[in-house]
Amino acid sequence: MINTSLALTYLYLLIYILLSSGVILYNKWVLSPKYFNFPFPITLTMVHMGFSGVVAFFLVRVFKVVAPVKMTFEIYATCVIPISAFFASSLWFGNTAYLHISVAFIQMLKALMPVATFLMAVVCGTDKLRCDVFLNMLLVSVGVVVSSYGEIHFNIIGTLYQVTGIFAEALRLVLTQVLLQKKGLTLNPITSLYYIAPCSFMFLFIPWYMLEQPHMDISRIQFNFWIFFSNALCALALNFSIFLVIGRTGAVTIRVAGVLKDWILIALSTVIFPESAITGLNIIGYAIALVGVVMYNYLKVKDVRATQPASPERITDRVTKDWKFEKKSSDIYVPNDDVKTGGGGGSNSASEMIVDEEAPLITSSRLSHIGRTQVNTHPA
């Protein structure tokens, strides 16, 4: 008999993979001069942020689905603003790369993200260096390098944009953990959009005004309301799906799922976009990366079996309390002794804490702890 919790975890992973793949292919189609021909990546990103911010505003202020937290100026200035800046930068550079390189090559480069996250966490002291995980990440990196070497349409500008976006994302992850978690701030996905999306929009406005606005000829721009609306809606749904996934899995686990998603994307992109040709060396390199993924999953299962599961009753209570997004949620969350000990004897290591940082928006320490406890019993 299939366990309901495990089946739900895999369902969330499937939804995340489908939405993520759809958003990437959709963005490429909109931005590419060969298709919809809207070569303004900053503008498209601002549409996403503006739409998400408006939706969050109505949910918080008008429909009062959740209550806004008591955000102080000090927390906003030292946490929300820098995190939003790097979040906006990662989206800007990542979307700009679609103008220069193929979807397939972009996904090969993105496979380095778990490696960058792990290394940045170790360098900044938010995670501990493990030889076995490091070797697996190194194997994944070697596979990506081999795949990149076999790229037919290599473009240095697009590659630099994508790599810069990866570094911006890695810095955002570390900043989120260092600045936000230590303050114990708890935000659900709706309040995260409420605070992060408008701030990211304002950061994007500066490069948009300098780089894209002077080149925008309104008479020549194709504007289809339903295309931009559906594109922004998919991006919004992706934010929520990632939140659901990281609540039930670990940080590196979702990145590993992302690598598997890249295989699907590479195959689809060659069909949808014929210019995204792949070579035998690309396939060999990605096969090497997949070996590293499988080895990591094996180590993950061993870690899970060695971890003492927490009490099911307490897990249920916390899931019920946190996942309903109730209006009386805590503004500032201070972990108690139970959480510090993992709820049932497990340790709260830095590698586990980084589970919060993989979402594009802020998530809570408390919710991440629930996800870790569940995955200890049912690994994804």
pLDDT tens across 276-320, in order? 788 888 888 878 877 876 776 677 667 667 764 554 444 334 433
Residue 185, pLDDT score = 73
Q: What angle do CA 213, 192, 40 make, to 5 degrees?
A: 20
Residue 2, pLDDT score = 61
Domain contains 10: yes
Tell me the whole-structure pTM to 2 decimals. Answer: 0.76
pLDDT for 186-207, tens place per residue?
677 788 889 999 999 999 999 9
Domain contains 374: no
Domain contains 136: no
Domain contains 266: yes
Residue 309, pLDDT score = 55
The total domain count for the chain is 1
pLDDT for 149-165, tens place per residue?
887 788 889 989 998 89
What residue ranges of the chain have pLDDT lower than 50? Answer: 308, 311-360, 362-380
Domain contains 2: yes
Residue 46, pLDDT score = 97
Proportion of the chain above pLDDT 90, given as a percent: 27
Residue 255, pLDDT score = 62
Domain contains 161: no
Can you give the residue range of the structural domain that contains 30? 1-40+225-273
Domain contains 240: yes
Domain contains 151: no
Residue 343, pLDDT score = 35
